[in-house]
Amino acid sequence: MLAADFLHLEKDVETVNSYADIFHLDVMDGVFVPNISFGFPVIKNIASIAKKPLDAHLMIIDPDRYISKLHDMGVEYVSVHYEACNHLHRTIQNIQSMGMKGGVAINPHTPASSLEYILDYADFVLVMSVNPGFGGQSFIENSLRKIAEIKEMAIRKGLNTLIEVDGGVNLKNAVDLKAAGTDSIVVGSTITSSPNPLQTIADLKA
Ligand code: ZN
Kindly give the distance from the C-alpha atom of residue 156 to the centroid of ligand 1, in angstroms, as a whole number. 27
Is residue 36 very low, low, confident or very high in pLDDT (cuts 50, 70, 90)? very high
Q: What's the whole-number mean pLDDT along residues 48-71?
A: 98
Kindly give the distance from the C-alpha atom of residue 185 to the centroid of ligand 1, in angstroms, as a whole number. 10
Question: How high is the pLDDT of residue 115?
Answer: 98
Q: What's the whole-number mean pLDDT along residues 135-154?
A: 97
Give strand pairing partners of 46.
none
Kindly give the distance from the C-alpha atom of residue 12 to the centroid of ligand 1, in angstroms, as a whole number. 17
Q: What's the whole-number mean pLDDT along residues 198-204?
A: 95
Catalytic residue among 12, 26, 55, 123: 26
As a whole-number percent, the residues of the chain with pLDDT over 90 amount to 99
Q: What's the whole-number mean pLDDT along residues 193-197?
A: 93
Is residue 57 very low, low, confident or very high in pLDDT (cuts 50, 70, 90)? very high
Hey, which bits of the chain come out as E strands? 23-28, 54-59, 77-81, 101-106, 124-128, 162-166, 184-186
- By the 10 Å C-beta count (0-12 exposed, 13-18 middle, 19+ buried), 172 is classed as exposed
Q: pTM score, two decimals?
A: 0.97
Measured CA angle at 15 (ends 9, 20), to 5 deg: 125
Contacts 24+ apart (CB under 8 A), 161-165: 161/119, 161/122, 161/123, 161/124, 161/125, 162/123, 162/124, 162/125, 163/124, 163/125, 163/127, 164/55, 164/79, 164/103, 164/124, 164/125, 164/126, 164/127, 165/126, 165/127, 165/129
- Name residues with Cβ closer than 5 Å to ligand 1, which is an ion: 26, 57, 166
As a whole-number percent, the residues of the chain with pLDDT over 70 amount to 100
Kindly give the distance from the C-alpha atom of residue 55 to the centroid of ligand 1, in angstroms, as a whole number. 9
Question: How high is the pLDDT of residue 168?
Answer: 96
Question: How high is the pLDDT of residue 52?
Answer: 98
Q: What's the whole-number mean pLDDT along residues 188-194?
A: 93
CA distance 50 to 48: 6
Is residue 75 very low, low, confident or very high in pLDDT (cuts 50, 70, 90)? very high
Kindly give the distance from the C-alpha atom of residue 166 to the centroid of ligand 1, in angstroms, as a whole number. 6
Q: What's the whole-number mean pLDDT along residues 138-146?
A: 97
Going by C-beta distance under 8 Å and a sequence separation of 6 or more, which residues neighbour residue 172? none
CA distance 122 to 192: 31
Question: How high is the pLDDT of residue 145?
Answer: 98
Phi, psi torsion values for 81, nearest 5 degrees = -85, 135
Catalytic residue among 29, 55, 123, 166: 166
Kindly give the distance from the C-alpha atom of residue 199 to the centroid of ligand 1, in angstroms, as a whole number. 22
183 is catalytic: no
Q: What's the whole-number mean pLDDT along residues 25-44?
A: 96
CA distance 91 to 108: 21
DSSP-derived letter for residue 29 is B
Is residue 70 very low, low, confident or very high in pLDDT (cuts 50, 70, 90)? very high
Q: What's the whole-number mean pLDDT along residues 115-142?
A: 96
Kindly give the distance from the C-alpha atom of residue 118 to the centroid of ligand 1, in angstroms, as a whole number. 20
Question: How high is the pLDDT of residue 169?
Answer: 97
